[in-house]
Amino acid sequence: MKIIVEANIPYIKGLLEPFGSVEYLAPELITADAVRSADALFIRTRTRCNAALLDGSSVKFIATATIGTDHIDLDYCRNRGIHVSNAPGCNAPAVAQYVFATIARLASLPEHPVLGVVGVGNVGSIIARWGERLGFRVLKCDPPRQRREGGDFTDIHTIAREADIITFHTPLTREGSDATYHLADAAFLDSLKRCRLLINSARGPIVDNQALLKTIETTGLAAAIDCWENEPNLLPGLLEKTFTATPHIAGYSAEGKMRATTMALEAFEQFYGVEIEGKPVVGAPAKGADVTSLAQIAASYDPFTDTAALRANPAGFEALRNHYNLRKEVV
């Protein structure tokens, strides 16, 4: 068996060698030629798994050590009989840490702040729970969940009208009534009434970066951007005008990376009927029961440090991301 592993996946080296030939490649080296004779791929978001990469290959298993799968053509893989696994929820506490550590850096908050959470899956659910525990009034927007479950959800127009802080945690989808591509477009940004801080730590194209830059220049809206359109090629001007600007590292905790790698390895075990020795051991994502204050979260992580590093070296976006000093989760 030939296994290709993206070289930037941590906590994996040496664990797959008992099962075949393993190559650790930088994402730009995971090409159609490189994967042609491969059976299994372990990737992250920088590897696009589609016909251009996989046609003519022997790949039957793909594990992405990430929450999202928008870098994978799932229909193509399904039609080709290629098994795909991801790591839902692996970094949810780290993203919550990022969101509230950023909120904590605002000069002041209203006495009864309203937090709008758009997308209430694994990540958004933890953020909503933390927000409620920290005294925020939380508005939750998730149309697919609302249709399935009913319950305490609202629409994005209400969030635009009532939220002081809006944070996005949806997958990236481009078709259908629930498409999230440019969900925060010029019309949405123009409709904001009270919003003081907009956060995108989900997928870059959820927020129209051109429209966001114009809104910042016009209204002074504070924006915390971790996921960018067309990254690592950032929109000129936006980097310097955001409140915080980070290189797609919101979910980069040591524990989150361990969970992602473990989930990828467990999927490999299940697919091939093997047992891997030495997998990382880490607990399930915490629910936030021990979060007591914004000050507690702020003490655990300072997004201004990562902002300064990116602004000092925008061309180093990928290097900053790939060699990030993984932080500890707050709980």
Point out the residues that are catalytic. Answer: 203, 231, 248
Burial of 306 (0-12, 13-18, 19+ CB in 10 A): buried
Beta bridge partners of 3: 22, 40
Q: Residue 21: phi, psi to the nearest 5?
A: -85, 125
In the chain, which ranges are continuous DSSP H helix? 32-35, 51-54, 74-80, 92-103, 122-133, 143-149, 156-162, 186-190, 209-219, 238-241, 254-272, 294-300, 303-312, 317-322
In this structure, are residues 150 and 128 in contact, taking their beta carbons and an 8 Å threshold?
A: no
In this structure, are residues 184 and 206 in contact, taking their beta carbons and an 8 Å threshold?
A: yes
Quick one: how far is CA 140 from the chain centroid?
A: 18
